[in-house]
A and B are shown apart, each in its own frame.
Chain A
């Protein structure tokens, strides 16, 4: 027992230590460019680098900021809301001009957004929405329409199968906006198709390893033989599931039709190999649109409340032609 107390004390110290690290970033406000004009400072809090999609998104934002010589204070939340809240508070302390962030989860943002509002800093939500009762807590939300993505996936599958499918679903991180809405959109699309049913739905946490593990479990279930289609909320989980399907001695893309969302390069390669049937694009290259909004907000101009990113849908017939264009 006597050993426990110093351990706890040190754990507490460790937490303080890591907190301290987040704050020493160079504030950079007030720096000026060659013309003596005040440079715009944007604080951006990214979710993490959980997928190729996210990395491309990060790169697009960094590139665009560099191109326009905007001072970007970038922070990676490593999938944790508490890290993100810390980052947002440090942006306020540093006095950035505009804050942009991709929230890890939908809920729990009111207090920190309230603080930002009191500091008079406009907020751009990038690619994921938040669930707040007071709409004045953020200025605009740019990103994909996740419900629309789910609908596109559902409609494609309905058309491909003639409205007859036994579907298993790999959903994203519980509580995350894309997971909730891609599910909702897909369910809306198949609502009027009585022969299309989701028989199993589990979270694969948007990762390959979990996608594979959960698909394995699906394939061991009593209903395994009846599965004709898989809907994955992102490509990475679908790629993991493809391996599980192959290991079960089935042909992905033939025995089980697979439709997923995102449109990363690896998904196009899988489509070319005939293992994935369709991916609904969710465009990460929104750096330009984000910085446009940031500049307008800093100049106190009006911006629309909701901005959509441009997105397409690709099946195997289009995959090969599109593959060379994929940056991420």
Chain B
């Protein structure tokens, strides 16, 4: 049974890889496939999948569930990075959103709806603050978002009174622990947000505008794009994503832990985006690539647990894998390596992000 489902899994995965061999997403997906294959062969029980209490249960499900936070944040981060910026405050905004929701429910006695929208409102405010600083006051993104990165967690502590607030509201708990069709509900949230983001950026001109601004803000302004508004919206949207991720994180442990929620998550999110193929210099962006990047990071973490690698040395193998993925993605490194194998690199070279041609002329990629 398990062998059959494994074979099916690999058939689908290999088919997907083959279909996407021309795309930029091929490389992170290949890395993910190799890592999973390694686990399938050498980590006992990693590919075990069973049904308990009517839900699917196994390490791969854990990866999807635990990876949801980084996936949510990385969607927003992708757009911000595509505008040529970066948002360091996402982890702090997560902590703040969780704290606000928990406080509204437990201390002030409000229901789920008020808590949910209250938290999302605060997260949007944070996004608007970042966006205003970057887009309208022209402050460098690293500095502008550093303010909230440092201060946001402090505000969160203030909101939660320095305590871990426990809550039991069933709807709130469902967000991070519930199931839909046997799969964790967090996955539904991620897919819904991906669909919304994809529609917004690929079915309207917004995605093209974002890439244009990231590629060359001056040129895009001269061609009539409201560059400031586009940048502002990207940060606002990241605020929303971080808020959702914060609610999921809090819901997952049924408590708001202002000090730890989303700690260092900004780094994972940036890494996920870069691994997914979006260049830090801005321009072209790859939403699904970022999700694959986030899954890759979570798979690494789960692998370390499953193989019982001590936490002291776990960063080492993780770093090695990340370096390998980055090298795989680098066209120069691939060309250099192919010199030794004497065969040309299989996928035809895509434009390297560092020298991406102006996207204004090219149509937005679906």
Binding site for B on A (CB under 8 A): 1, 3, 6-7, 10-11, 13-14, 17-18, 48-52, 55, 58, 78-79, 171, 174-175, 200-203, 205, 207-209, 212-214, 216-218, 220-222, 224, 236, 239-240, 243, 247-249, 266
Contacts and interface: CB of A to CB of B under 8 A. Distances in A.
Given A220-B62, A243-B254, A209 B308 contact: no
A217 B58 CA distance: 9
Contact of B44 (A48, A171, A222): A222
Contacts of A51: 164, 259
A49 B157 contact: yes
- Interface-centre pick from B46, B146, B258, B311 (highest chain A CB count, 10 A): B311
A208 B255 contact: yes
Interface residues of B, number: 45
A1 B354 contact: yes
Interface in B76-90: 84
Nearest to A172: B311
Interface in B41-78: 44-46, 48, 52-53, 57-59, 62, 66
B253 A240 contact: yes
B253 A209 contact: yes
A105 B53 CA distance: 42
A18 B150 contact: yes
B249 interface: yes
Contacts, number: 107
A240 B66 CA distance: 14
A52 B52 contact: no
Nearest to B57: A248
A48 B260 CA distance: 10
Contacts of B166: 266
Contacts of B249: 209
B62 A13 contact: no
B281 interface: yes
Given A51-B164, A209-B252, A217 B259 contact: no
A216 B46 CA distance: 12
Given A14-B146, A213-B305, A217-B62, A208 B177 contact: no
B142 A207 contact: no
Interface string B225-264: 0000000000000000000000001001111011111010
Contacts of B140: 6-7, 10
Contacts of B253: 208-209, 212, 239-240, 243
